[in-house]
Amino acid sequence: MKKHELRKMSKGEREKQLQELRMELIKSNSQVKSGSAPKNPGKVREIKKSIARLLTISKEVFKKHE
């Protein structure tokens, strides 16, 4: 996701997106740990980056409202 798309989201939408990404990351990690190769290895990296973006933007918005 792009940064400007994330900033337009409401707090609830960002939290929902964050939960979905974390669940997807858990599924991907469990595939790797079980010994099977992930369908798309680059997907794990992209999920982690998206989670980091969401957390960063959430903190920026929080500090802005203080």
DSSP letters spanning 33-65: HTTPPPS-HHHHHHHHHHHHHHHHHHHHHHHHT
CATH of the domain at 12: 1.10.287.310
Find the domain containing 46 and state its range: 3-64
How many domains, the chain?
A: 1
Q: What is the predicted pLDDT for the residue at 66?
A: 59
- Which helix (H) or strand (E) element contains residue 29? helix 11-33
Q: Give pLDDT tens digits for 18-57.
A: 999 999 999 988 888 888 877 787 888 999 999 999 999 9
**pTM of the complete model:** 0.81
Mean pLDDT highest for which of 7-11, 37-41, 53-57, 58-62? 53-57
Query: Tokens 């960063």 sit at which residue?
Result: 56
The stretch 6-26 carries a mean pLDDT of 91
